[in-house]
Amino acid sequence: MRYAFIRTEKAVYPVAALCRVLDVSRSGYYAWESRGPSATAKRRSQLGVKVRAIHAKSRGTYGSPRVHRELRIQGDVVSAKTVAKAMRAEGIAGKRKRRFKVAKKVVQAVALLLIFGIYWFLLAR
């Protein structure tokens, strides 16, 4: 985190001064800057690509449990919580089912049929 701050501020302040203030060595900063992304960062970015692909294939309906299941079927060993974190990081979520709600017109029609059915039943007696 300190090194990232130095990277953003080195255009304004000298690197030596930033390293002194943040109590890090200059050689440590330059070593960090020359390194590539870590193995974990690479795995997470690959997981993000796979999660996006599975989510898109499901037309946006799959949430983290189903995406996790699909990844397991494909042979990827990853935990459900990691998949949920990756989905949050990508800003994607599954669609939620809507609550079933009977249409008002249907309820009114059934009520009328019941009322008139009882009425005709009583008249037929």
Per-residue model confidence as pLDDT tens digits over 35-89: 988 898 899 999 999 999 999 998 888 888 999 999 999 998 999 999 999 999 9
| Residue showing tokens 């049929």 | 113
The CA distance from 113 to 37, in Å, is 70
Q: What are the counts of helices (DSSP H) followed by strands (DSSP E) for the chain? A: 7, 0
The CA distance from 102 to 105, in Å, is 9
At 99, is the pLDDT very low, low, confident or very high (cuts 50, 70, 90)? confident
The CA distance from 92 to 100, in Å, is 25
Q: So what's the pLDDT on residue 125? A: 57
| Residue showing tokens 């019941």 | 114
The answer to pTM > 0.85 is no
Q: DSSP per residue over 26-38, as a string?
A: HHHHHHHHHS---
* Chain mean pLDDT for the chain: 86
